[in-house]
Structure 1
Amino acid sequence: MFERFIEGPRRAVILAQEEAREHNHNWIGTEHMLLGLVREGESLAAEFLASIGVPAAEVRDQVERTLTRGTKTPSGHIPFTSAAKQVLEDADRESTELGMHHVGVEHLVLGLLCERDGIATRVLGSYGLDLEAVRKRVRKPAVSGSEFFGRFTDLARQALMEGQESARKLNHNHLGTEHILLGLFAVEGVAVTALHNLGISHDAVREQLLRTAGFGTKPPTGSIPFTVRAKKALEMALKDALTLGHNYIGTEHLLLGLMRESEGAGAQLLRGFAPQEQVRGEVIRLLAAPAPALAPVPEPPPVVVGREPEIQRIMQILMRKSRNNALLVGEEGTGRTSIVSGLAQRIAQGGVPAGLAEVRLRAVDATTAGDAVEDPDRTVLFLDDVRPGDADALRALGRGKPRVIAVTDPGTCAEFPDLAAHFQVVPVGEPTHDETVGILKQLRRDYEAHHQVTITDDALDAAVALSARHITDRVLPGKAVEVLDEAGARMRMTDGADRTVDARHIAELFADRGTGEPAVDDRSIWAMS
C-alpha cells in the first residue's frame, strides 16, 4: 500500500505511531493520524491544512481534549484500527481518481474526510470542511490569480506552458516540479543557460524521469492541475525573486524555486546530475549577484558530527600560497566524503573565512579533471575515491591551478609518497562512539521514511556498539549505518504498516557465538557477513 506514498505522508504515519505510544494507546486510530499530520508545525502537512483554514495548534488542542490516556505504554508493534486502514486506502484511491502518481499529505487529509464518523472527521468538520471542497482545493493551484502570475515574465509563463505540454506527452494527469523542469529547457533564459553550463540536458533529464515515473496510462484532458509541491515551488520562486531584489519572476527564479522544494521530483532529478548548491551557484553567477543573497533560507546541516578539526584543517590548507591541495586519507566508510560535503555547505552558507567566500567546489573524476576551468583561482576540484591508476592525473593537478581536494585510502596513499610534494595529508580516522551516534541521529529521519519505521535512540546506540565490537573488517560510521539499514529492511518485511526498531531488533541481527548459549548482550556474528 505504501509504495506510492511520498515522504510527507509516510512521516505522518510514523508520527501517528509515536502519538499512540505517547498516549499509552495500543492502537493507531484516525485521531492519531491527524495528530501525526500536525505534529511538525512547519511540515508540508501543516502548511496544507493551514491553506484550507485549519491551524495545526488548534487541531491538536481539539483532539487532545477528546482523548483519554491509557494506563500502560504499549510495546512492540501497534496495529491500525480498521478505520485508520480505510483512511490509508481512501487516500490512495483519492490520489488515483485525481490523476496523481503519488500519495501526498493532501490525499491523506482527503482520506480522513472520507470517514463518516470519527474524532479526526469531527475535528476537521468543525472548520466547515467537506470532502468535495477539499478535492477542489487540491485540483486548484495554490498560487493563482492575475496579481501573482502578472509578475511572471513571458519566458517564465512559456516555461510553465511547455511544462504542461511535457506532462501531457507523458500521459501524466498532474503538473509537477519535474514537468516545470522540462519546460525550462524549452525556452531561452538564465535557467537553461545555467543547466547547460553544468552539462545537464533536456534529453538526459527526461530519460531519467521516464525511468522513475514512466508513462501514464491515459492522456489527460483539459487543464492539468499543479501538484502541491509544484505550487510550493512557485511560491518559493517568488520569495527568491524578492530576496534578490527583483520585481518579476523569471526562469532563473523558477529554477531556484524548484530546488528550494527539495522533496519534489524536479529537485531530485537535478541532484542526480549536479549538487544543489552547484546549480544555485551557477544561477547566481549568471545573475552577477552575491551568493549570500539566498542566506535567509538555510540549508540543512551537513552530516559532519565531530569532524570540526578536519574541516578547519582543509580550509587552512586551501588558504595557503603553496602546497594548498588537501588529500583526505582514510578507510572507506569513515565519512571522508561527508567532510567535503560539510565544507561545501559552509561555503554555500557563507560560514567560511573571507578568502574562501567566493570559492566553488566542483566534483570531477580523474578522466575529466584536466579540462579547462573558467576561473581556476575561485574553483576547487574535488576527486572522490582516488585509485592507484589516478596517480598521474593527481600529480598533474597538484602542480598547478585550480586547488584540489582528493579522497583516498591509506594503501593508495602509501604507494605514492611523492604526492606529498603537492598535497598535504589530512588523516580521517573512525569517529568515537558518541560522534557516530550523532551521525546516525542526523541520518535517522531518512531511514525512518524509507523503511516506514520509528528508530529509537537505544537502537542507534546498539548499532554503534555491536558493529564496533563484532564487525572487524569495516569501520565506523559506515558499518553502523549498514546495521541500521539492515534492521529497518528486516522490520519492513514483517506484517504491519509501521513498527519501531529498538535495541532488541539490532541485537537480533547478530547470531549466537559458538555452539553454546548466547552471552548476554553479546550477539557476535554479523548475520549478513
Structure 2
Amino acid sequence: MFERYTEKARRVIFFARYEASQFGSPYIETEHLLLGLLREDKALANRFLRSHAAIESIRKQIEAHTTVREKVSTSVDLPLSHECKRVLAYGAEEAERLSHKHIGTEHLLLGLLREEKSFAAEILHERGLRLSAVREEIARSASEKTSANRPKESSLLAEFSRDLTQAAVDGMLDPLIGRDSELDRVVQILCRRTKNNPVLIGEPGVGKTAIVEGLAQRIADGDVPSFLSDKRILALDLSLIVAGTKYRGQFEERLKTIMKELMENQNAIIFIDELHTLVGAGSAEGSLDAANILKPALSRGEIQCIGATTPAEYRKSIEKDRSLERRFQAVKVPPPSEGDAIRILFGIKERYEKFHAVAYTDEAIEGAVYTSTRFIPDRFLPDKAIDLIDEAGARVKLRQTTLPTEVADIQKRIKFIV
C-alpha cells in the first residue's frame, strides 16, 4: 500500500500509529496523522505547519478533545479509520495532480485539508491553512527545487581556467622541492590587505609555475594559514579568452564576465602565466586591453592574482605601466644552484621513472645537472636538466618497445601463415 510513499511519509504513518496507541484509540484517526506530521521535523508539511501555528498548541487542542483510554500496545497493527483512508486517497490524488511520482508529507497535508469534516481539518482551518493556498505553495516549492537541481549555465571561468588546487588533490602535480623562501613570500603577500598580488619574476625554466603549483599543493594538504585554507588557485589562459573574439567588444565582455564570477567567488585566486601578455591583450582601436580592465578590481582587492613573467618582459611591459606595477608585489626567483637542482631532480625522478618505465641512477641525475650546465649555457636550471632526464627516458623506452629484427620477422611469418 505504501510503495509510492517517501521515507518521511512512511515515518509519518508510523508516528500516527504510535500516537493512536498512546491515546488508546482503536483506529488511526486524522488527528493522529496530523500529530505524525508534527513529529517529522524536516518534512515539507512540517514547515508549513510551523509557519502557521505553534506545534504545542495543536497537540494541546487534540489532547483536550480526545478521551484518553488505556494505551494500546505498539505491537498491535491498528487499522486506519474511514476518514484516514480517504485522506491517504486524497494525498495520492494530489501527488498525481502535481505530477509528483512519490507521495510525500506535503500530499498528506493536502489530503487532511480536503477531508473537511475531520477534526484535523478543523484544526488546520482555525489556523488559517487553506487547501488552494497550501497547494500553490507546494507547487512553487517543487518548482524552485527543480530549478536548483537544474545544471547551471556554463561558467566562462571554468572554461578558460584550470583548477590547480583540484589537480593537487588528484595527485596530478609534480612535488615542489626547495623554494621555501619564495613560497613563503608569496603566501605572505597573499595575506596582505592591499597590494596582495604577487608576481614571480625569473628567467624561463627556473620554476615559477612550480612555485604556484607548490602553493596549490599546500592548500590541498591544509599546510597554509587559515586565511588561505579554503582558497582555490585557478590558472587563467589569456590566449584562450582572446581566441575566437572576432567582433569588437567580445573580449571585454568575456573578461568582464570572468571578473564578475571571481568577485562573486572570493575563494578564487587566479594565476596568469606570462603576466606581460595582459598589456595589449584583446585591445583594438578605441577599446581597453586586459590590463586596464583588471586594474580597478585589483586595486580594490576584489580580485586576487598571482602573476609570472621574465625580468626582460617585466621591465618592458609591467614597469612602463606604473599603475599596473603598483598593484603587484615582485618576488624574485633566481635559478637554483647545482646542488639544489640535483635535489629537485631526485624529488621528481619517481614520476619520470614511472612514466618511462625506467630507473635513473644517482650518477645519471647528477650527470644531467652537470652536463646541462656545461653544454647548454643559454638555458636555466632546473628545466634544462629535467629535459635531459626526460629525453634519456624517452630514448630508453623507445628501444625497449622496438622489437628486434629477428622477432619482427617471425611475427610477420606467423601473421602470413594465419
**What TM-score do you get using the length of structure 1 for normalisation?**
0.38
* Higher RCO (CA-CA < 8 Å; seq separation 6+): 2
Larger radius of gyration: 2
The structure carrying a bigger helix percent of its residues is 2
